[in-house]
Amino acid sequence: MKRAALAAKAGILALAFSLIPGIASATEAETPQWAIDEGITIVELDPTEGTPISGHELAEIEALEETQMPAQGSPIYLSDAPIAQPFINIVTCGSRIDWYRWRGQDGKNVLCFANKGDANIDRYNNVRYVCPGSNRGQTRYYYGNQHYWSTLRGPMSDHKTCYSFGDYAVAAKGVSIK
C-alpha cells in the first residue's frame, strides 16, 4: 500500500512539473545513475528558455572579462584576482551539497560557489546541471549562438534538487548568487 501511495505522489509531482512551460521532471529511466545514487531529483529545462542577454549587457560583461579574466583557461579564485563582487568564493566542492554547484555531463562537480555576489568565470563547456543548494542564484551561459541568464532558482531546503540544461551541456560563463 505504501509503495502505491508513493508512486501516486511521484506521478502527481511529475504532472505538476509537466504543466509548467519549459520544465519537465526526468523519468526514472532518464535519471542518471549518479542522481539515483545520491537521491537527487533532476528537473529538465529547455536551455533556450533562459533570459537572453542583450547586446549592450553582453558588451559590458565582455569588457569586464577582458580586464578581469586570466589568459589561461582555468578559474580565477578570489584570492588571485578581483573577478567577483565581495563575498563570493569558488570553493572546493568535496561532499558539500549546500553550495551552489555546477555539475558536468557525467554528474561530477565542475565548480562550487559559496556566499553572495557575482563572478565571471572563464568558459566551462561541460556544465549540464545547476544545483542551487541553500543558495538563490543563476548561471550565465552560452547556448545555440545566444548568451542567457538561467532562471533564478533556490534555495532548496533538502539540497537534493538539480536543474538540467536538457540533453547537452552548456558553456557556463558566470554566476550570480543573491
Q: Do residues 130 and 101 lie in contact, with contact meaning Cβ atoms separated by under 8 Å?
A: yes
pLDDT of residue 11: 41
CB atoms within 10 A of CB 156: 19
C-alpha to C-alpha distance for 111 and 85, rounded to whole angstroms = 17
State the first-to-last Cα distance of the chain, in angstroms, to the nearest integer: 43
pLDDT of residue 65: 60
pLDDT of residue 64: 66
What are the pLDDT tens digits along the chain (178 aa)? 444 443 444 443 333 333 334 444 444 448 899 999 999 999 998 888 889 998 888 888 777 665 554 433 444 443 444 443 346 888 888 888 999 999 999 999 989 998 888 888 877 778 999 999 999 999 999 998 899 999 999 999 889 999 999 888 999 999 999 9
pLDDT of residue 86: 46
pLDDT of residue 127: 94
